[in-house]
């Protein structure tokens, strides 16, 4: 299942992609008689992704049943039009997608999690994970233009697998860590290198406004059984820049969840960005900084494509 957050007619709501449609989960679940079959006690699914995730596996199960149940109606043009008029289903082009989790409680990023990327930056592969944080204001909607900042000309791309937490966890056992994952999505950790390197703390160069495209959808774990068997590719204006298999991560998704949860409690909606492979712009000769007119496409097996056009300030 492909969960999204979408904006339409001035509202921001949780939905699911179904073919060319976006199904509004809150409204569609109200049509369903089978809520009891998944043990759901409420009247309908919540309208926001954060509350949907906070309701755990039961909400995901009901969302899946809701999407399956509405499928036949969407295939019938007359019934689909009725659903469209009621705001229960939207044609894909009628809505604007937002980051699937628009305001995550935490965005935990991992630096240098691929050995070749560490080396291209002149660093040894780390023996313990390097973490840094982003704030929600730094996220950017999938497909939305990234506006180059006036303060820098050293703007770089970083395609990454992002993990969305679905279950609260503290001191999580690595062997059971993936049970805490709601699903996966794509992240482009756009980095303002000169600001990132002004001091030993990377925070400011990683937190420029709307510099972190996330999406397009949160793909649930049933579709991604093993996050270490995915291929990440990044193309900038049609040229392949990065390509790696997630099995070459130094620290696996399960390890990162176990490690970080020794320190802090992971909550539904938290994001872990797992680091970028080699091939980023700063390490090229000459450096390949992003410029107006570029289009950055980050693709990951099973997660679709996160596309970001780059525009001038
Ligand atoms: Zn990164």
- How does strand 271-273 pair with strand 107-111? parallel
Structure confidence at residue 259 (pLDDT): 98
pTM over 0.85: yes
Q: Which of 1, 61, 2 is nearest to 34 (CA)?
A: 61
Distance 163 CA to ligand 1 centre (A): 13
Please give the pLDDT value at position 31: 81
With DSSP H G I counted as helix, E B as strand and the rest as coil, what are the percentages for the chain, rounded to 5? 30, 30, 40
Distance (Å) from CA 90 to ligand 1 centroid = 34
Among the listed residues 292, 288, 286, 308, the one whose alpha carbon sits nearest the alpha carbon of residue 159: 308
Q: How many angstroms separate the alpha carbon of residue 94 from the centre of ligand 1?
A: 32
CA of 130 to the centre of ligand 1 (A): 11
Q: Do 223 and 113 sit in the same domain of this protein? A: yes
Give yes or no: residues 195 and 63 share one domain. no
Residues 163 and 286 in one domain: yes
Split into its structural domains, the chain has a count of: 2
Residue 188: its pLDDT value, please?
Answer: 99
In the numeric block, the tokens 């970083």 are attached to: 158
Q: How many CB atoms lie under 10 A from the CB of residue 128?
A: 8
Q: How far is the CA of 122 from the centre of ligand 1 (A)?
A: 16
How many A from CA of 104 to the centre of ligand 1? 17
pLDDT of residue 30: 87
Angle between the N-to-C axes of helices 56-74 and 77-85, in degrees from 0 to 180, rounded to the nearest 10: 130
Question: Is residue 272 located within the same domain as residue 202?
Answer: yes
- Taking the centre of ligand 1 as the mean of its atom positions, its distance from the CA of residue 54, in whole angstroms, is 26
Residues 115 and 92 in one domain: no
Question: Does one domain contain both 79 and 158?
Answer: no
CA of 157 to the centre of ligand 1 (A): 9
Q: How far is the CA of 189 from the centre of ligand 1 (A)?
A: 5
300 beta partners: 232, 304
- Range of the structural domain that residue 28 is part of: 2-98
Whether residues 94 and 136 fall in one domain:
no
Report how far ligand 1's centroid is from the alpha carbon of 240 (Å). Answer: 18
275, 159: one domain: yes
Q: How many angstroms does the Cα of residue 280 sit away from the middle of ligand 1?
A: 10
Residue 276 Cα, ligand 1 centroid: separation in angstroms? 5
E strand or H helix that includes residue 184: strand 181-188
Give residue 153 CA to ligand 1 midpoint distance, Å.
18
CA 160 to ligand 1 centroid distance, Å:
7
Distance (angstroms) between ligand 1 centre and the Cα of 109 equals 6
Distance 6 CA to ligand 1 centre (A): 25
87 and 181 in a single domain? The answer is no
CATH code, 29: 2.30.30.230
45 alpha carbon – ligand 1 mean position (Å): 33
Same-domain check for residues 71 and 160: no
Task: Give me ligand 1 centre to Cα 190, in Å.
Answer: 8
Ligand 1 centroid distance, CA of 110 (Å) = 6
The answer on 266 and 139 residing in a single domain is: yes
Task: Tell me the average confidence (pLDDT) per consecutive run of 10 residues in the chain, 313 residues long.
Answer: 97 96 94 59 87 94 92 93 95 97 98 97 96 98 98 98 98 98 98 97 98 98 97 98 98 98 98 98 98 98 98 97
Dist. CA 19 → ligand 1 center (Å): 31
Q: Is the dihedral of CA 102, 232, 220, 110 positive or negative?
A: negative
């Amino acid at each position: 299942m492909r969960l999204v957050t979408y904006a339409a007619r001035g509202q921001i709501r949780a939905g699911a992609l179904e073919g060319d449609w976006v199904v509004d989960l809150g409204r569609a679940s109200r049509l369903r008689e089978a809520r009891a079959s998944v043990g759901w006690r409420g009247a309908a699914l919540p309208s926001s992704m954060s509350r949907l995730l906070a309701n755990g596996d039961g909400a995901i199960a009901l969302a899946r049943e809701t999407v399956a149940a509405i499928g036949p109606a969407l295939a019938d043009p007359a019934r689909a039009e009725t659903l469209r008029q009621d705001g229960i289903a939207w044609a894909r082009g009628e809505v604007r997608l937002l980051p699937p989790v628009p305001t995550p409680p935490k965005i935990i990023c991992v630096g240098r999690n691929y050995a070749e990327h560490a080396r291209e930056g002149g660093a040894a592969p780390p023996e313990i994970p390097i973490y840094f944080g982003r704030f929600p204001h730094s996220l950017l909607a999938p497909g939305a233009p990234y506006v180059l900042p006036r303060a820098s000309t050293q703007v770089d791309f970083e395609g990454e697998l992002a993990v969305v937490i679905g279950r609260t966890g503290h001191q999580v056992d690595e062997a059971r860590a993936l049970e805490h994952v709601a699903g996966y999505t794509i992240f482009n950790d756009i980095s303002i290198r000169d600001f990132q390197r002004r001091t030993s703390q990377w925070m400011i160069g990683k937190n420029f406004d709307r510099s972190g495209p996330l999406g397009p959808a949160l793909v649930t774990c049933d579709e991604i059984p093993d996050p270490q068997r995915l291929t990440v590719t990044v193309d900038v204006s049609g040229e392949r820049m990065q390509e790696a298999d997630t099995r070459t991560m130094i620290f696996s998704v399960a390890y990162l969840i176990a490690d970080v949860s020794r320190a802090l409690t992971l909550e539904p909606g938290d994001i872990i960005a797992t680091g970028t492979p080699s091939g980023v712009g700063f390490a090229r000769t000459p450096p390949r900084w992003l410029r107006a007119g570029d289009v950055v496409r980050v693709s990951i097996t099973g997660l679709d494509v996160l596309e970001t056009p780059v525009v001038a300030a």
